[in-house]
Amino acid sequence: MITDNDLTTRDWLAIERTKLANERTFLAYFRTFIVFLGSGITILKLEFLTELKTFGALLTAISPLILLIGIFRLLKTKRVIKKHYKL
């Protein structure tokens, strides 16, 4: 394992970049969740899209799963970073 004494400025910056990349990945999952949820609700509410009601329901049902996957990956990666670098 790497301790505080072993890390140089370059190493600290690499760790920070990894943390920021992890957060950006979560935000991508969150944006996808919002788009799926919004699209699903819109399809369900608009009357001229009645033939797509099943697709709207599917999008609405999948959206929370996408958010949960994003949260799980965010927390898992944070744990791995903290464990590996003992931060």
pLDDT at 1: 53
- Name the residue ranges covered by the structural domains of the chain: 4-85
CA angle, residues 12, 72, 22, in degrees to nearest 5: 30
Per-residue confidence (pLDDT) for residue 8, from 0 to 100: 85
Instruction: Identify the sign of the CA torsion 40, 41, 46, 51.
Output: positive
**DSSP classification of residue 81:** H
Q: What is the dihedral of CA 72, 75, 76, 77, to 10 degrees?
A: 120
pLDDT 10s digits, 23-62: 999 999 999 999 999 999 999 999 998 999 999 999 999 9
Kindly report, residue by residue over 59-77, the tens digit of the pLDDT.
999 999 999 999 999 999 9
pTM: 0.83
